[in-house]
Structure 1
Amino acid sequence: MTYNLQQLQAFAAIVASGSLGRAADALHVTQPALSRTIRRLEEQVGAPLFERHSRGMHLTEVGAVLLPHALLLQREAEQAREEIDALRGLARGTIRVGAAGSIASLVLPLAVGRVLDKWPNLRVEIIEGVWDRLADALVRREIDLALSVAVPDSDEITAIADCRWEDASYVVAAPDHPLRRKPGLTLADTLGERWAIPPRGTGPFEQMQSVFAEHGLGLPNVVVETRSITVLKSLVARSGFLGWMAAPMYVTESKAGVFDTLGLPGVAGRRTLTAFRRRQGILPSPAVKLLEQLRQLTAEEIGVE
């Protein structure tokens, strides 16, 4: 069955807005014209896509099945337009990328800056999150590249072997934290302090737990668990908390004297980071441009350590 992109756009607009009137305004068409478009799509599908209510329009079971496919076809069409523009020398388009927090703090901004210096007409959309969020966005085609800790390939996602680098994570604390004045400081001395860290099940938490285990210690006093990088940094900088962070994540705070690595010899966690893409399909031209800069940066090891 072949679908009309205009009809799919109208369908998605109604879902996003929740009503025929708001969707018509967003698409700059009349309500009767939009209604006819959806009626033709429903005739083609062979079933109603919406239930009409006084408070708006809600998807039927058939509509709910069609929606992800409609969004996917729209994204494919947009990528095709961008690829054609690139071939015509216009170098327009959108880089869609997702990254873990430490990568989004340093390596990715450096790469984006380099890309836009060469191709200023490109746009960039970035999402930040842990691997589950990034993998889902990659499969749903919300992004074309994901930058995260190396994990095994799946049926749908594969790592890009020549874009790989390492970073190290440390215990961090504010400059005036009392532990900085303790002679002969060891990791065991941090156990009773207040800690703030990403939640259990995330890479940073598991890495911290592994480092403590290597030193024969259990978990420290984790008082706050949050995925918010802003909150984590504020707790360390302003509220006397200890944290566990990858070094690239706090380069700016370190230079500004806000917080820095706590001096614990031999206490560090290393990890391998890499870029991922969908296993099937062609990588869009804008994403290729970003990938080229990431390869150069990681080969030069600029700011990675």
Structure 2
Amino acid sequence: MTRLTQYAHGGGCACKIPPGELEQIVAGLHGSGDAELLVGVDTGDDAAAVRIAGGVALIATTDFFTPVVDNPYDWGRIAAANALSDVYAMGGRPVVALNLLCWPRDVLPMELAREVLRGGLDVASKAGCHVAGGHSVDDPEPKYGMAVSGLADPERLLRNDAGVAGMPLSLTKPLGIGVLNSRHKATSDVFPQAVEAMTTLNRDASEAALAAGIRAATDVTGFGLLGHAYKLARASGVTAVIDSSAVPYLEGAREALRDGYVSGGTRRNLDWVRPHTDLSSVDEDEALLLADAQTSGGLLLAGEIPGAPVIGELVRSAEYAVVVR
């Protein structure tokens, strides 16, 4: 079997440009500021949202990354679920997606590329989202993802700046995807529990959040739980208090951490949030797990839905954006 992960310098959302560097790059690069633009780049939310005719919000997003697993079909499924997640994280319904494919055509068989695309198509079809072509380039490093457009009620968008003190924090998928993927890349060991988590759509969680009247949410991906909690807390002007003992993890995650399978992206996440986070109640290993770079992770909700553990709350505090207990 071709080990796709060996053709990439990193894997999945751990390949993201570090959040601190990214914020410096896009600082001041704002759009028109028109009232029709409901969500832009100001708060670093999951996608853009624009009000269009008929009282509808158009949600637009894109996401792509290097191989996170060796199986091409699974990589396609994971990348598609991850791209669709940004629409779900804002309370939307994905409608149409375009493939984004970079492929070393003289190095890897095109049959593998077809399997990647097949995986993406199957997940999009499960989501009820059309896939209509896309774009491809010859690239030394394989990458795959999607540009996705969806629709939502503009009055019921889930946003990362709508958190209010007193709200509980819920997490809809366990953490540990990053360390398990790092172990897979290094050893070829397969972790079905990680693949299952990454290919699970956030559709049901999004629909449950809307039904519960939740207004504040984000998905947990490459910046880790701490990074995305920090962005939500900062945008909302509150502090996210996280109960470390309540955070769920995938089987094998702690063992992978113990054995040193921590990505550079995870360490950069922790460095970024450390000045804004009180980590005095946990050790460095626990902090690394909380900052673990997730690929196609769950939703972090300011509210409660059935089946999602409550891992903390939003409070008023002027000292830290995130407090870990």
TM range (shorter): under 0.3
Greater helix share, structure number: 1
Question: TM-score w.r.t. structure 2 length?
Answer: 0.22
